[in-house]
Structure 1
Amino acid sequence: MIIDAAADLLAHSPSGDVSTRAVCEAAGVQQPVLYRLFGDKDGLLTATVDHVWDQYLGSKRAAEKSADPLQDLRAGWDSHTAFALAHPNAYKLMFSSVLRSEPEAAEEAMRLLREVLERLAAQGRLRFTPDVAARMVMTANTGVALALITRPTLYPDPHLSVMVRDAIHRDILLDTPADTSADDIRQAAATTLVSSLGALTPQPFTPAESALLRQWLTHIAESGQAG
């Protein structure tokens, strides 16, 4: 009840902020109840952001995987941007430094993104490791989404999100082998092998051997990525 009230007030707040007094009045509770449950305003806002984001992440959890992980990657980007435009205040709180504690939804969003990228890596289509690619995609997606909702007059074209999406996907993917360098192919092969280690049945290596092999392959996959 309290979180629902806070989420509704946050969604309609011109400033993107809510007061604990207003939340308590809307929820019909006394302020000591709110502080007992959430500790302080920061705790309330963190829980509220998680609540709003959980509705979005719930749809991603329930979504059926398509035959092509690239299609899922594109759809994930587009739904992320659409969520930001529909819930600008909750979105800005998620990626701002206002909250002292990081909402749990931030890590889950990254986890779901990595799962799609791991499928691409297993197909030999990823130029970078899933972890590196996930950080690249999430940084670009949040950057363009924040630009669209915080500076709409400067970035009036919503199609900008699609253009940035396609640009970042071209950078992380190896869908045109003829245009790739030997280093790119080597890194993609290592990334594919890393992603496939856990799926080998029966396991041909001991845990220690697997850990050492994973370390070597990850080093190969990440070599040259900083350049």
Structure 2
Amino acid sequence: MRGERGFLSEAGQNGKVTQDKELGPSSEVPHNPITPTGDRNIWEALFPLIAFIVVNRLFGLLWAIVVATVWSLKITFQRYRQGYPIGRFLPIVTIGIIARGVVGIITDSEAVYFGIGIGIKASVGFALIISVFLKKNLLVKYAPLILGLKKSITSQEVYVKAMNHISVFIAFAQFSSSAFDIWLFNNASVDGYLIIRFFVNWPFTTLVILGSFFYLNRRLSQIQDFPGLATIMEERLAKDDPGQERK
């Protein structure tokens, strides 16, 4: 355990944190694999976890961050070419990944590098809540791109209300996950933080997604002739096969 490693105190004083000599500095690892379960997606999730720990032990934080950045960029562009709805967000995601990697390398600080990820997660929660209060709910606008919902459904008031509730639910899930990450960062070893966070966030994220899916399906069932979200998504996947790469 690393009780002497205060998340905010040491980062604020010198930009670095105390490192365990026997473990070395840590690196980031994707911890929200929310894509559909499958061998390929499991490998995409597990590879960085294993690679980061190995590279971190052998070569240190700098090279672990390089691996993290390169892998994240690879997966991002790969999913874009396969047709996943990342399109207009690609430049933002790319800049964010690169910026985080550069800052992590420059500061050579676990607290800064991990803290950026935790901050982004919490910021997503705040953005969702603010968008609800401003009546410009991000999920109302972009969920149809993923779920394949038609205008006849998204124009219904019950859809907007359901997505508002889901946005707030997801926001508090983000806050809870961020708080857990901070606590774990301050109380676990490097490897323990990476592994525990991964295997806690995966089922937690899955439950949040499934809960949101079933809630939305139940609320939309109030719409006459609503076929169900599963049927709509099957039809969407049949028309737009993500396996076909973009030219």
Tell whether the structures are fold-level matches, with TM greater than 0.5. Answer: no
Normalization by structure 1: what TM-score?
Answer: 0.31
Larger RCO, structures 1/2 (Cα 8 Å, 6+ apart): 2
**Bigger-Rg structure (1/2):** 1
